[in-house]
A and B are shown apart, each in its own frame.
Chain A
Amino acid sequence: MSVFWITLIAIAIACVAYGVGRQKALSSSRGDPRKLHSLPSYYGWYCFISSIVPALAILVIWLFVQPMITTQRVDSVLQLPVEASVGEKLAAKRDVQSVAVALDRGLAQGVIAESDLPALAENPSSLPATLAEADISLPVVVTPQLFNAAQTFRDLSSTLNTGLTVAVILFAVIGAFFGIRRCAPDFRARNLVERVTMTLLIAASVIAILTTIAIVLSLVFQTATFFEQYSWRDFFFSATWSPVFQGNSQLGILPLLWGTLYISLIALLVAVPIGLFSAIYLSEYASKSMRAVAKPLIEILAGIPTIVYGLFALITVGPMLRDWIAQPMGLGSSGSSVMTAGLVMGIMIIPFVSSLSDDIINAVPQSLRDGSLGLGATPSETIRQVVLPAALPGIVGAILLAASRAIGETMIVVLGAGAAARMGLNPFEAMTTITVKIVSQLTGDTDFNSPETLVAFALGLTLFVITLGLNILALYIVRKYREQYE
């Protein structure tokens, strides 16, 4: 029985416990709920919890233990040499599993009968061909040993699975029984239920922390493995990026970092003036109706997925820049270029700059404007000399947030910037970024022991640190500024 159904059964038992517990509490007070300490449904919930919690706990523990037991038994049947590497063991385990799964499917579809199995155990090499008749592919050379291991795996799994089902149902019923027994008028069901709820609430808010810890741990551990195989000096200070999958590759981050910063710079040069001027116009000059139309339209730009911008760069902006500017001026002949990616990314981050700046400009107290206008300044002079200086820290924060967004952006640069790692100044040449290389090193068949794959984690860690630093700085500036006027 699959885990899903076992869980459903446990939940069903718990639901029954809810009903019984509630009824028991009501009847123990002789139908007068006022005599109960808590509302009747709290007794029900108490029974629900006392039934489902032990059942799910045993389920989780079992799911962790079961692979250990099966692996041990299968290993003893396979008799792998002691000196076999982790990779070989994993591959053998995967083979055993695929044979077992294929056997199950074969039996289910009737290509093999249960009675054929002993004969197959003698001569299992015909198994893939037999299964292929039912469109079950089994790309493994089946040795008798492997077949036996797969059989052991199947037997053990089905035994353990039955055990799991029985254990879960047993625990659910026992839990329900104990819960129901405690339902009496003076039992403080609500307090207990609320305590459990509170635990759940706290657990949910800890998940955010766990995510961060998981990110940091997964990046740091793999990066440490990478630096065992590759010198960190070469990684941070070498200006050559040329991964070779046979080994002996040069993995310097500098060209990637240069590409990332160059593209982000162009993006900011596009987005900051446009975003800032739009925000100023919308908050200081625009009529209410214009604001109601223009502001959502600009924010649509923030809601469009980045893959759409990537495609826009690839099929429209790239060829346009190449045909109209780069080629006539002899600057390059590539559709994907720093300019393409930067321009499109700039469009993408316009709304970040504009809506954040808009909030910040609106937060500048009206009295400052009134004072300046009262002295005879024109509105634009007021904005330039009073509002903007007052809003400056916030705007800087907004720009930093936009910059971190630009540095971490992936799809636009994957489709628009190209894959050549080089450090040049010509913006119409293809360059590449950290995110592009993370994608290219980690997609496809990857071997998690080679520096060419592990470098992606070091790149990811660098990216994480840079964006985190920018974010923290920006939040700090924005918060500090907000305090001034509130």
Chain B
Amino acid sequence: MTDISAHPSGKRKTSSLLQLDARTKRRNAAERRFQIYGLVCIGIAMVALVMLLVSIFSGGASAFRQTFATFEMTLPAETLDPDGNRNPEEMAKVTTIGYQNVLRQGLVTAVRGANIVPEGMTDADITGMLSPEAAADLRNRVLNNPELLGQQVEIDALAHGRIDGYFKGRVTMQSAERDANVTPQRLQLAQAMADNGLMALRFNWGFVTKPDASDQRPEAAGLGVALLGSLYMMLVVLVLSVPIGVAASIYLEEFAPKNRWTDVIEVNISNLAAVPSIVFGILGLAIFINFFHLPQSASIVGGLVLTLMTIPTIIISTRAALRAVPPSIRDAALGVGASRMQAVFHHVLPLAMPGILTGTIIGLAQALGETAPLLLIGMVAFVRDYPDGPPAGLFDPASALPVQVYNWTQRADPAFVERSSGAIIVLLAFLLVMNAVAIILRRKFERRW
């Protein structure tokens, strides 16, 4: 045959299945390399994820703990309640400054009494260890419970941010020498107070419940207003995007004729899902604030913008859920005399509900983490007042969890870095819970037809 005659020498190349020739070895090595590339790439992605989480958690865990000075003192009734009738409305005339003087006096007495003050430290120096916010806290406590006056009470006063930083390792003796806000002496005293049980690092609920604080008081800053704002926005998103999204999907999936018009809607929805989020912020600014004159930084505006962003997500997942319901269900319903509307609302929709619910939760989770559009509608404003209860509170200025993170990263004091990481831990915890619920719902109710 021609093949054989092509080798005139008659010498055939011999090979054995048991002995790999050079070319096979090369090909097998290439195969192994290829697999290793794949594994390495997955490894890189995993390492990136782990690094991300570790950096956030190691930086932010300390935000949940705060240094408090704990000491006992008698609250002087005559200065804090000059009228002497324990009426909170009249006592409110004593300002925070009055409480500050009392508190400072108490601290100085307590510290001097324990005999741990370093040589040459003045009283003014000692009082600088407390946060300016501590007096306001004490004032609120007394106004809520006027009976405390004249009694020996235990005070939990927020320590100054730098003292807190010392216990968390952010401030050292060396850095304190160059720092206008703290002196090495104060750090020595803080250490001595900690040794004597007058100062301790404790879990701080205030981080989650209190409002934001000014640039100078990182120790008092909390997430309360931001959490409330985010909650309100999620309410708006839930109330608006679910009915609209589900209704739109029912129309498109069950009733819409296949024509140019529905094609336009479909292409539109898939494009809307990919529009950059910042463009939705511009939309919110131009339409809701400039045109409809809704208030800036109100959670209603944020909620509306996030609703528009969430609708495509909900439509896409709802349509998938509706499509997964087999046509036989519809046919059976129509066969026993239901109208098309009845077939959908009485039979298809309930069967698609778990899928819709899962998609909704995932859409909400996305909306919860969205930051960029909220920056444009004024949610970056510094808000210290809690918004009222809904519905009026929806129009009050509020912050949002991710925007609060951004806000804190823009501040000079390094203590805010810790707080923004802490805020992210809170945000991630919420997302984790929401996604876990979505997964559980899917596992529990998912039906294979």
B148 at the binding interface (Cβ < 8 Å): no
Count A interface residues, CB 8 Å. 87
* A479 and B49 alpha carbons, distance in the complex (Å): 32
Q: Given A194-B341, A303-B435, A460-B282, does the pair A298, B45 have CB atoms closer than 8 Å?
A: yes
Contact of A407 among B276, B420, B435 (CB under 8 A): B276
Residues of B within 8 A of A156 (CB): none
* Residues 253-278 of chain A, each 1 if its beta carbon lies under 8 Å from chain B, else 0: 00000000000000000000111111
B17 at the binding interface (Cβ < 8 Å): no
Taking a contact as CB atoms under 8 Å apart, the answer to whether B48 and A301 are in contact is yes
Taking a contact as CB atoms under 8 Å apart, the answer to whether A415 and B409 are in contact is yes
Q: Given A307-B406, A411-B372, does the pair A201, B250 have CB atoms closer than 8 Å?
A: yes
Please give the distance in Å from A399's CB to the nearest CB on chain B. 14
Please give the distance in Å from B377's CB to the nearest CB on chain A. 9
Q: Interface segment, A120-128, A165-173, A211-219?
A: A211-219
B353 at the binding interface (Cβ < 8 Å): no
Contact of A315 among B28, B55, B278, B378 (CB under 8 A): B55
Q: Given A274-B41, A301-B49, A315-B417, does the pair A218, B244 have CB atoms closer than 8 Å?
A: no
Taking a contact as CB atoms under 8 Å apart, the answer to whether B268 and A281 are in contact is no
Residues of A within 8 A of B243 (CB): 204
* Residues 423-439 of chain A, each 1 if its beta carbon lies under 8 Å from chain B, else 0: 00000000000010011
B39 at the binding interface (Cβ < 8 Å): yes
Contact of B35 among A281, A303, A407 (CB under 8 A): A281
Taking a contact as CB atoms under 8 Å apart, the answer to whether A442 and B49 are in contact is no
Taking a contact as CB atoms under 8 Å apart, the answer to whether A438 and B278 are in contact is yes
Contact of B279 among A215, A280, A294 (CB under 8 A): A215
Residues of A within 8 A of B332 (CB): none
A405 at the binding interface (Cβ < 8 Å): yes
Taking a contact as CB atoms under 8 Å apart, the answer to whether A350 and B272 are in contact is no
Residue of B nearest to A448 (CB): B290
Taking a contact as CB atoms under 8 Å apart, the answer to whether B52 and A304 are in contact is yes
Query: Which residues A392-446 have CB closer than 8 A to chain B?
Result: 401, 404-405, 407-411, 414-415, 435, 438-439, 442-443
Q: Interface segment, A146-154, A242-250, A461-469?
A: A461-469
B315 at the binding interface (Cβ < 8 Å): yes
Taking a contact as CB atoms under 8 Å apart, the answer to whether A467 and B409 are in contact is no
Taking a contact as CB atoms under 8 Å apart, the answer to whether A201 and B278 are in contact is no
Please give the distance in Å from A318's CB to the nearest CB on chain B. 11
* A218 and B287 alpha carbons, distance in the complex (Å): 7
Please give the distance in Å from A76's CB to the nearest CB on chain B. 21
Contact of B376 among A294, A307, A442 (CB under 8 A): A442
Taking a contact as CB atoms under 8 Å apart, the answer to whether B35 and A380 are in contact is yes
B108 at the binding interface (Cβ < 8 Å): no
B440 at the binding interface (Cβ < 8 Å): no
* A235 and B209 alpha carbons, distance in the complex (Å): 47
Residues of B within 8 A of A202 (CB): 251
* Residues 177-221 of chain B, each 1 if its beta carbon lies under 8 Å from chain A, else 0: 000000000000000000000000000000000000000000000
B383 at the binding interface (Cβ < 8 Å): no
B46 at the binding interface (Cβ < 8 Å): yes
Q: Given A204-B248, A281-B35, A380-B30, does the pair A300, B369 have CB atoms closer than 8 Å?
A: no
* A19 and B373 alpha carbons, distance in the complex (Å): 44
Residue of A nearest to B278 (CB): A410
A143 at the binding interface (Cβ < 8 Å): no
* A298 and B48 alpha carbons, distance in the complex (Å): 10
- Category for how many chain B residues contact A: 35 or more
Residues of B within 8 A of A219 (CB): 279, 282, 286
B153 at the binding interface (Cβ < 8 Å): no
Please give the distance in Å from B395's CB to the nearest CB on chain A. 10
Residues of A within 8 A of B308 (CB): 211
Taking a contact as CB atoms under 8 Å apart, the answer to whether A207 and B244 are in contact is yes
Contact of A467 among B39, B245, B276, B341 (CB under 8 A): B276
Query: Which residues B307-334 have CB closer than 8 A to chain A?
Result: 308, 311-312, 315
A387 at the binding interface (Cβ < 8 Å): no
* A221 and B287 alpha carbons, distance in the complex (Å): 12
Please give the distance in Å from B346's CB to the nearest CB on chain A. 11
Please give the distance in Å from B433's CB to the nearest CB on chain A. 13
Contact of B52 among A275, A309, A380, A448 (CB under 8 A): A309
Residue of A nearest to B276 (CB): A408
Majority SS of interface residues in chain A? Answer: helix
Taking a contact as CB atoms under 8 Å apart, the answer to whether B45 and A350 are in contact is yes
Please give the distance in Å from B62's CB to the nearest CB on chain A. 13
Taking a contact as CB atoms under 8 Å apart, the answer to whether A463 and B279 are in contact is yes
Taking a contact as CB atoms under 8 Å apart, the answer to whether B428 and A308 are in contact is yes
* Residues 406-417 of chain B, each 1 if its beta carbon lies under 8 Å from chain A, else 0: 100100000001
A115 at the binding interface (Cβ < 8 Å): no
Taking a contact as CB atoms under 8 Å apart, the answer to whether A205 and B247 are in contact is yes
Residues of A within 8 A of B46 (CB): 294, 297-298
* A251 and B45 alpha carbons, distance in the complex (Å): 39
Query: Which residues A444-486 have CB closer than 8 A to chain B?
Result: 448, 456-457, 460, 463-464, 467-468, 471-472, 475
B34 at the binding interface (Cβ < 8 Å): yes
Taking a contact as CB atoms under 8 Å apart, the answer to whether A443 and B380 are in contact is yes
Taking a contact as CB atoms under 8 Å apart, the answer to whether B372 and A306 are in contact is yes
Residues of A within 8 A of B278 (CB): 408, 410, 435, 438-439, 460, 463
Taking a contact as CB atoms under 8 Å apart, the answer to whether A467 and B275 are in contact is yes
Please give the distance in Å from B411's CB to the nearest CB on chain A. 12
* A200 and B341 alpha carbons, distance in the complex (Å): 13
Residues of A within 8 A of B264 (CB): 209
* A307 and B404 alpha carbons, distance in the complex (Å): 10
Contact of B421 among A303, A311, A383, A471 (CB under 8 A): A311
Taking a contact as CB atoms under 8 Å apart, the answer to whether B44 and A308 are in contact is no
A222 at the binding interface (Cβ < 8 Å): yes
Residues of B within 8 A of A439 (CB): 278, 372, 375-376
* A411 and B407 alpha carbons, distance in the complex (Å): 12
A327 at the binding interface (Cβ < 8 Å): no
Residues of A within 8 A of B48 (CB): 301, 347, 350
Please give the distance in Å from A336's CB to the nearest CB on chain B. 11
B56 at the binding interface (Cβ < 8 Å): yes
Q: Given A285-B38, A303-B435, does the pair A415, B244 have CB atoms closer than 8 Å?
A: no
B424 at the binding interface (Cβ < 8 Å): yes
Please give the distance in Å from A340's CB to the nearest CB on chain B. 13
A190 at the binding interface (Cβ < 8 Å): yes
Residues of A within 8 A of B287 (CB): 214, 218
Residues of B within 8 A of A206 (CB): 265
Query: Which residues A135-184 have CB closer than 8 A to chain B?
Result: none
* A358 and B370 alpha carbons, distance in the complex (Å): 26
Residues of B within 8 A of A78 (CB): none
6 A-B contacts (beta carbon < 8 Å): A194-B339, A198-B341, A205-B247, A222-B286, A275-B41, A303-B435
- Given A304-B369, A308-B56, A410-B278, list of 4 further CB < 8 A pairs? A305-B431, A415-B406, A435-B372, A448-B290
Q: List the 10 shortest-distance A-B pairs measured between CB atoms, nearest first.
A: A408-B276, A305-B369, A281-B38, A218-B286, A204-B247, A380-B34, A410-B372, A277-B41, A205-B248, A201-B251
